[in-house]
Structure 1
């Protein structure tokens, strides 16, 4: 058994596709398949359900996969610790972030990258529940999520503020005088995040409490698709302030909505217990200095 076999197994879990996993690991698909079969032979277990395509992991495979993640985290932590002893912060920071909040993750990643040019990032768009689970399973180093479900006895947090909302629109298609009140939304075609998302639930609650029924023309779980719809004039959208969305195009503008905010703080979260990577600790400590300033 070697570390590459574990990387191949984790890549297969990430992509759920043999060819894509091979590409992610910069090897050919036959090489990846052969090395995984060698791992199965060595462990005397069938780990992967195979047909004409990847069909998932066996029960034993899921259990071995959990250990593979732990061993890879320890391997990465060892390299990061060695770099730290040399006065460097290198490696990959695994960051999960809720898709819509009044905090732009680039406000954290950019200063970290400037201070540590050897640092790389894996940024995933996840729900708060998925982020907490990922931190607990050591699949993430840090998370940016809503804090109402975070148990501070298990996680360290840095509060990043409350999410306030505004109306994002394209000035080529819509013109408004702001700031706006909720009643101004009546009749405006809106693109909304998909139901079930934390942000959408808070938005629906705000609308219902004011007796408003939105003119919904589009729902999507993709911020990019919502922005595409706004840019072509299909709709406007109630989106977070301070998220950097208006910087994505010269015609995009966001006007604050009066008394529009999501209950619950957004925060940067790190698990308290080991194993905890040196990269996570270093980046969390620098985030404390950054946001304190």
Structure 2
């Protein structure tokens, strides 16, 4: 067994196609198939369901795949750690961000790239629970999530800006004047919302229910881009982070402040405490601390 075989296995999972997985790994399809069969023979387990095309992984294959991701993450972390000991930062910084975060990670990543040109970045949109789970299993290096009920014995955190709320709407379809909006006024609007259970939605519901208001969303979705499309199409308005720059996406969108509107918990940058801890995560965490102190 070698690292390349595990990379081939992960590539097959991500592409769900033998030919595309081989192309991603810069090898031929017969070579990919042969190396995966060698892995199956070594482990004495069938990993892949084969027909005329890829038909998914076997149950043992799914379990081996999870271990392969862990091993690859550790291998990449080891390479990055060795480079850091030599005074360089290389590799891929994996950052998970909750949907509708008011924190824009791009200035931080841009500064990191200026300081360390050999770094690359992987951004994932994850729920708060997924971020903590993937930090704990070392599948991501850092998370941007709400700090509610954070286990401070397992994670370090750096509090970011408070998440205030505003109403996003398309000015071609709606006009609310210039004053901040009240929650009472919004209960009558056609609202689009993230699905129940997502932290930002929980904060919206709390703000309504604490005022004995019961909104009836016109649209609910777990995809932010679909929510933005619905707002831009005039179907609805949406409660969004006030400082998220979403109104800059097109000339027609506007974000209007809402009175006394903020999320239930502050947003934070989160890093695991336990070893092995990514040198990339530590450098990014330290840089954000430095930027906030400027």
Asked if Structure 1 and Structure 2 have the same fold, meaning a TM-score greater than 0.5 normalized by the shorter chain, the answer is yes
> What is aligned with 1:170?
170
Partner of 2:214: 213
Instruction: Report the alpha carbon displacement of residue 158 of structure 1 after superposing the two structures with TM.
Output: 0.6
Q: Secondary structure at the match of 1:174?
A: coil
Q: Does the 8 Å contact 1:128/1:146 carry over to 2?
A: yes
| Change over 3 Å in CA distance of 1:180–1:292 after alignment to 2 | same
1:1-293 equivalence runs, <5 A: 1-16=1-16, 18=18, 21-50=21-50, 53-59=54-60, 61-176=61-176, 177-293=178-294
| Alignment deviations for residues 120-144 of structure 1 (CA, whole Å, 9 cap, x no partner) | 1111111111010001111111111
Query: Aligned partners of 1:106 and 1:127: how far apart in 2?
Result: 19
Contact 2:170 2:232 (8 Å CA) reproduced:
yes
Change (3 A) 1:206 1:16: farther
Contact 1:48 1:58 in 2 (8 A): no
Shift of 1:210: 2.0
Deviation at 1:20, TM superposition (A): 5.2
In structure 2, distance between residues paired with 1:12 and 1:139: 18
How big is the shift at 1:50? 4.1
Q: 1:96–1:143: 8 Å Cα contact kept in structure 2?
A: yes
Rounded Cα–Cα distance in structure 2 between residues aligned with 1:287 and 1:16 = 37
Measure, in 1, the Cα distance between the counterparts of 2:148 and 2:58. Answer: 34
Tell me the distance in 2 between the aligned counterparts of 1:20 and 1:214. Answer: 46
Q: What is the distance in 1 between the residues matched to 2:92 and 2:100?
A: 23
CA distance in 1 between counterparts of 2:124 and 2:58 reads 23
**Cα shift at 1:182:** 1.0
Q: Report which stretch shifted further, 45-54 or 236-245.
A: 45-54
> For 1:49 and 1:152, how far apart are their aligned partners in 2?
42
Per-residue CA distance 1:203-236 (angstroms, 9 max, x = gap): 1222122233335221111111111111111111
Whole-Å separation in 2 of the counterparts to 1:20 and 1:207: 48
Partner Cα separation in structure 2 for residue 183 and residue 19 of structure 1: 56
Change (3 A) 1:212 1:17: farther
TM-score normalised per structure 1: 0.90
Deviates more, 1:226-235 or 1:49-58: 49-58
After superposition, the CA RMSD in angstroms is: 2.2
Question: Residue 31 of structure 1: CA displacement?
Answer: 3.8
CA contact (8 A) 1:73 1:277 kept: no
Query: TM-score with structure 2 length normalisation?
Result: 0.90
Q: Matched residues in 2 for 1:57 and 1:265: separation?
A: 42
Aligned residues: 292
Contact 2:16 2:54 in 1 (8 A): no
**Structure 1: gaps (5+ residues):** none
